[in-house]
Amino acid sequence: MARGILRTAVSRACLVLVLSIAAHAYGDPGKDLFDKQCSGCHTVGGGDSGGPDLKGVTDRRSEEWLESIIIHPDTMAATDPARKELIKKYGYEMPTLGISHDDAIKIITWLKGGGGGAAQAGAPPADEHPEVVVTPALVAKGKALFTGQKPLANGGAPCIACHRISTPGITGGNLAVSNLSASYQKMGEKGMRGALKALKFPTMKKIYENRPLTDDEVTSLIALYKDAALTKSTPSASFFPAYGAGTFVVFLVGLTLYKRRTR
């Protein structure tokens, strides 16, 4: 009886050990890095999104070129025609993510193997994020999140702080170059979803590092961008410099009156 229990325990322990080793062997550091750093904007076989589909990229580009764009895209020669073409197509430069040389090699090695042989990696399965259906309620929620009227659940900054959008009634900031309705037109829904989930752009990276957007927030914001892109409105004019100048004149008048009073 006791021998039987011991035999069962040993065989189960061996099974757990073998499964652990197998799982470890199948774990690919290149894939892990890709999922963590790249999958926000890229897929392998899932089509273009925030950035190009990387399926077969190791056949199209040299290893040195791939290393450069992964490690320090900001310092790649401005004259590099392939890079210029990508910026033109996607509307922004790939951000520097702080990936080390060793990690870049691991990612490239994994990509060389066909991205783990999967038909689609990086992008979420198609059925996980069905296409956003724009409704007035969803657009209104997106507007409230964009402007900060409804704070983001994890405490991130509202989009209006730095971004413009071509929709009536919202005058966005312009610390960031991109107008988000124009970005949506370039990136499409899948690309925008990837970008909003990753938020790896230089200025945004630190702000949202521990404050990611929730799926619900991403969907509402996509509805807003999609609606703005479809309606093709012009960006709201900013009257704030004129108001500022007007208020300045009022201050000068006040100062003059104060001077007369104290003469």
Partner 1 sequence: MTDYLFFAVFPYVALAVAVGGGVYRYSRERFSFSSLSSQFLDNRVLFWGSVAWHYGIVLILLAHLVALLFPGFWGRLLGDPLRLAAIEATGLALGLFTLAGLVVLLLRRIASPKAWAVATVMDLLLLAALLLQVATGLYNALVYRWGSLWYLSLAVPWLHSLACLNPDIKYIVPLPLMIKVHLVNAFLLLLLFPVTRLVHIVSIPISYLWRPWQVAVWNKRPIGS
Applying CB under 8 A, which residues contact partner 1?
147-149, 151, 156-158, 160-162, 169-175, 202-203, 205-207, 238-241, 243-248, 250-252, 255, 258-259, 263
Q: Which is nearer to partner 1, 145 or 229 (CB)?
A: 145
Q: Write out the two tokens for 145.
A: 């999140």
Q: Which is nearer to partner 1, 120 or 147 (CB)?
A: 147
Nearest distance from C-beta of residue 245 to partner 1, angstroms: 7
Nearest distance from C-beta of residue 90 to partner 1, angstroms: 19
Q: Which is nearer to partner 1, 149 or 214 (CB)?
A: 149
Nearest distance from C-beta of residue 64 to partner 1, angstroms: 26
With CA atoms as reference, report the closest residue to 129 among 184, 51, 194, 210: 194
Q: For every residue of 95-116, which 3-state class applies, written as one string?
A: CCCCCCHHHHHHHHHHHHCCCC
Ramachandran quadrant class, 117 (left: phi over 0; alpha: psi -120 to 50; beta: rest): left
Alpha carbon distance 67, 29 (integer Å): 16
Nearest distance from C-beta of residue 138 to partner 1, angstroms: 19
Q: Which is nearer to partner 1, 117 or 169 (CB)?
A: 169
Nearest distance from C-beta of residue 205 to partner 1, angstroms: 7
Q: Which is nearer to partner 1, 20 or 203 (CB)?
A: 203
Ramachandran quadrant class, 56 (left: phi over 0; alpha: psi -120 to 50; beta: rest): left
Alpha carbon distance 141, 146 (integer Å): 9
First to last CA, the chain: 110
